[in-house]
Structure 1
Amino acid sequence: MTLAQAVVAGAEPAELASLDVPATYRAAHLRKDEVGTFDQDEPDKDVRRTLHVGEVPMPELAEDEVLIAVLASAINFNTVWSAMFEPIPTFAFLERFGRTDPRHDLPTHVLGSDAAGVVVRTGRAVRRWRIGDRVVTSPAYVDGEDPVVQHDGMLAADLRAWGFETNFGGLADFAVVKATQLLPKPRHLTWEEAACNMLCASTAYRMLVGERGARMKQGDVVLLWGATGGLGGYGVQLVLGGGGIPVGVVSSPEKAELLRRMGCPYVVDRAQFDDLGDEKAWRRLGAEVRRLVGEDPAIVFEHTGRETFGASVYVARRGGSVVTCGSSSGYAHEYDNRHLWMKLKRIIGSHGANYQECHEVNRLISLGLIHPTLSTVYPLERAADAARAVQLNRHVGKVGVLALAPAEGLGVEDRELRERVGEDRLSLFRPR
């Protein structure tokens, strides 16, 4: 029996420890020799051309690292950027990292910043985790010897996004992570449900709830762009759970209906505001929010970037905040600075989440208070198709990927909690 087969069969820790780690493993990866596949002005940089699934070499394990057998993973937008080689090829990250850790500087880059699985090996310095533990991963990869990590890991000079700025990510049968990245798998979730949460849920938590974000309080009106997407789906839940008033922006009647099933009382149709490039459109958006809730947003939840940022700065209330963690529509933002300084608004940059914030949001998930936003699941061999669906925005919530798990629906340990939460809540984003 192979190590992978033993994990799937639910083997005891002693048996897992006795089996050999394979020399190679199956993974979704990029190839360094394909950098330059796309012309700079190419209109459709189809990620299926560059994202491959096949065997890659198994790395050695550092003393503070853990090897996990991945049962399931998920697609994030950084996988899409990676496969498009934008804004720069990720091999530049790996070359730079390779100066201090040569293992990562390889002709292949294994992608993926989410995973759920079983610990199968631990480095010599790992104390809190054992072979056989069921875990999920947090995406921040930081140097624990950097003093600032004790204050906030996201301020570390060498902060990296695992599976994006490092190698050996989660879209694979095995993955290498620092032990500090691990969290207990929520016992009432399946492997694919557990794998889809941590990057987006923890990012949304830091943006809205964490003390370094917008610090939402009860009664705050929060405007959320892409409210049924990977980030927005968790943002809406956090606003509702914290006593805020979510106003979700979506682009179709189907997504609007999903928002209402989530309990979001106010929905803005993005199609009404196709061109948000001028103040007339910003005014119409602001008027629509006031019509719905009677006041301007205290917080605008931003991650779409260039297309929406000017509107976000405008519609935030006097003294309000725009909290941003990304720019999926482009990095070069334009906004009218008068609306920022003269109305005492704030722009808050937020990137990922530190380990404590990841712990806090994983606790909420484990208690059944925040639910997965999983909408569809692909097998690992179709990882490129999964990434393409995200690239074209043909999804809601999160797109999952099965790695070693042979089927959906496996991995649930706490049936009682699952029944209390309810299948309707857990499968809210799945097609009906």
Structure 2
Amino acid sequence: MESLSTAVLAAAPADELLRAAIPAQYTAAHLRIEDTKIFDAVADGDDRDVSRSLHVGEVPMPQLAPDEALVAVMASSINYNTVWSATFEPLPTFDFLRRYAREGAFAQRHDQPFHVVGSDAAGVVVRTGAGVTRWRCGDHVIISPVQVDDHEPMTHADSMLGARQRAWGYETNYGGLAQYAVVKASQLLTKPGHLTWEESAVTMLTAATAYRMLIGSKGARIKLGDIVLIWGATGGLGAYAVQLVKNAGGIPVGVVGSRDKEKAARALGCDVVINRHDIGLTGARTTQEAVEQGKRLGSAVREQVGEDPHVAFDYVGKETFGLSVFAVRRGGTVVTCGSSTGYEHLYDNRYLWMNSKRIIGSHGANLQEHAECSRLFSLGKIMPALSAVFPLADVAKAARLVQTNRHTGKVGVLCLAPQEGLGVTDPELRARIGEARLNPLRTV
């Protein structure tokens, strides 16, 4: 192991980290441009196995821009955008990198024949650019996955509306599934001291996305007593949605697809759990199917809660969106941030306009929303949704687990951290919360 990594693992002071040489290369999970056509012969709907396209190996260390930081990544996690990246759908992410590089200057570094992926990370700042004053070498950080242009006026109102906002590690290179990561300094947040590296690394992308969808001013703005229907309640997004609704005084109604996930949803705090197989929710392929299955879903919710949902939290997309539109009450809201089963949504528009329902599109979260969400973790109000941990060498297996939906919550990846359980700097808070509460999905 090179000297800088050794110093990081030894918790060396800042001056020693600064004396250690930055390695010329580092190990990273990455895609290769020559692989972009390997799934061309695979028919639509058939398996595009990401273990064929995700590689772990050496990549060159890039030069640091004045507004950037180099982070020694202790742990990262698998998000669904890594699955999209590795299937080269809906288009190869190398297209994003080429487009970014056209901005010139330091952006040109991103256009490479490799793409280091990963949009979550927790680690140690080991270098800062000449223009960075807020962060210091040795700081323990988590990373917001949204990279913005702070020279763009809209960024200062809501960075998610900025034309140049990008998903780090998906629309940029040098992401988090690696020993080192290059980030804008504006992406950094202080790591919660009571969490381990792997627990911290599974928080920001999905939890902050759910925060914006449900709590933030641009989302559904749930309130005390609201009934919230949560599709995929034990997935990465759903697991945090359940906790946010519960903390806000709402009633989380989770929809899951197995008995094991029923138990997990209850462990997360769901008041009501509906197994979609029990009521014949097979995925709507027509508007009529959406209405028929929406009626069954609505009946199941009313049977257990007594009312229709105020809000539907939907990131599943094509198979569920029509049901969500039908199932929410008059004046209700469907908030969506993705479409893991397909982007073309079918629903009967009469149930939307005649009942004054709303659809809200929500994407990522701005830095303030990330900070507010991170604060909830630091206060012990939200717990990590970690369910499994893999070493960086097995990142393809971890991504495949997520691709085939054989996981619950979030799948962590150890990068420089040699084992689980490291990185805690506030053991007192950790003891007060308790190990079982901190890891609800690892004890079911």
- Band the TM-score falls in, shorter-chain normalisation: over 0.9
After superposition, give the CA deviation of every residue in 1:222-243 in whole Å (9 maximum; x if it has no partner). Answer: 0000001100000000000000
Equivalent position SS for 2:213: helix
Q: How does 1:130-141 map to 2 (within 5 A)?
A: 130-141=136-147
CA distance in 1, matches of 2:443, 2:376: 25
Amino acid at match of 1:96: R
Q: CA deviation at 1:71?
A: 0.2
Specify which of 280, 284, 296 is matched with residue 273 of structure 1: 280
Deviation at 1:281, TM superposition (A): 1.4
Partner of 2:77: 74
What residue is the counterpart of 2:229 in the other structure? 223
Report what 2:10 is aligned to: 9
In 2, the alpha carbon distance for the partners of 1:196 and 1:92 equals: 27
Aligned counterpart, 2:171: 165
Of 278, 295, 311, 1:299 maps to 311
**Are 1:114 and 1:198, in contact at CA under 8 Å, matched by a contact in 2?**
yes
The one-letter code of the counterpart of 1:176 is V
* 1:408 equivalent in alignment to 2:410: no
State the alpha-carbon separation in 1 of the partners of residues 427 and 159 from structure 2.
35
The answer as to whether partners of 2:245 and 2:251 remain within 8 angstroms in 1 is yes
Contact conserved, 1:82 with 1:164, CA < 8 A, in 2? yes
- The question of whether the paired residues in 1 share the 8 Å contact of 2:267 and 2:441 is answered with no
Looking at structure 1, the residues matched to 173 and 283 of structure 2 have their Cα atoms a distance apart, in angstroms, of 38
CA contact (8 A) 2:318 2:339 kept: yes
Shift of 1:127: 1.0
Find the partner of 2:360 among 348, 357, 376. 348
Residue 134 (structure 2) pairs with residue 122 (structure 1): no
Q: Which residue of 1 is the match for residue 202 of structure 2?
A: 196
Q: Unmatched 5+ residue regions in structure 2? A: none
* 1:254 Cα offset (Å): 1.1
Once the two structures are TM-superposed, the CA of residue 115 in structure 1 deviates from its matched residue by 0.1
Contact 1:221 1:297 (C-alpha < 8 Å) held by counterparts: yes
Please tell me whether the aligned partners of residues 276 and 282 of structure 1 are also in contact (alpha carbons under 8 angstroms): no
DSSP-derived class of the 2:154 partner: helix
Q: Give the Cα–Cα distance (whole angstroms) in 2 for the partners of residues 65 and 130 of structure 1.
A: 12
Q: Which residue of 2 aligns with 1:360?
A: 372
Residue 294 (structure 2) pairs with residue 287 (structure 1): no
Which stretch of structure 1 is more off in the superposition, 39-48 or 340-349? Answer: 39-48
1:262-308 CA distance string (max 9 Å, x none) = 23210111112333421221111111111111111110001000000
Distance 1:194 1:275 in 2: 35
Encode CA deviations 1:182-210: one digit per residue, 9 max, x unaligned. Answer: 00000000000000000000000000000
Show the counterpart of 1:369.
381
Asked whether the 8 Å contact 1:64–1:124 carries over to 2, the reply is yes
Matched, 1:309 2:316: no
Q: Percent identity?
A: 61
Give the corresponding residue for 2:100.
97
Q: Distance in 1 between matches of 2:304 and 2:211?
A: 25
* Equivalent position amino acid for 2:257 in 1: S
- In the alignment, structure 1 residue 83 sits paired with structure 2 residue 86: yes
**Alignment partners' CA distance in 2, 1:257 and 1:163:** 33
Distance in 1 between the 2:268 and 2:87 partners? Answer: 33
Q: Match of 1:33?
A: 34
2:250 — aligned with what? 244
Q: 2:189 corresponds to which letter in structure 1?
A: L
Two-structure CA RMSD over aligned residues (Å) = 0.9
Runs of 4+ in 1 over 3 A off after TM superposition: none
Whichever residue aligns with residue 342 of structure 1, its letter is: M
The code of the aligned residue for 1:41 comes to A
State the TM-score, normalizing by the size of structure 1.
Answer: 0.99
Alignment partners' CA distance in 2, 1:38 and 1:145: 39
Rounded to whole Å, the distance in 1 between the matches of 2:265 and 2:406 is 17
> TM-score w.r.t. structure 2 length?
0.96
CA contact (8 A) 1:306 1:333 kept: yes
Query: 2:276·2:282 contact (CA, 8 Å) conserved in 1?
Result: no
What residue is the counterpart of 2:403 in the other structure? 391
Per-residue deviation, residues 32-59 of structure 1 (Å, max 9, x unmatched): 0111100251611000000000000100
Give the Cα–Cα distance (whole angstroms) in 2 for the partners of residues 208 and 274 of structure 1: 24
1:36-47 to 2 correspondences below 5 Å: 36-39=37-40, 40-41=42-43, 43-47=46-50
Shift of 1:144: 0.3
What residue identity is the alignment partner of 1:361? Answer: C
Give the CA deviation at 1:431: 5.0
| Number of the residue aligned with 1:184 | 190
Deviations 1:5-57 (A, max 9, x none): 11011111000001110111000000001111002516110000000000001
The answer to whether structure 1 residue 23 and structure 2 residue 30 are counterparts is no
How much has 1:416 moved relative to structure 2?
Answer: 0.7
How far apart, CA to CA, are the structure 1 residues paired with 2:334 and 2:84? 24
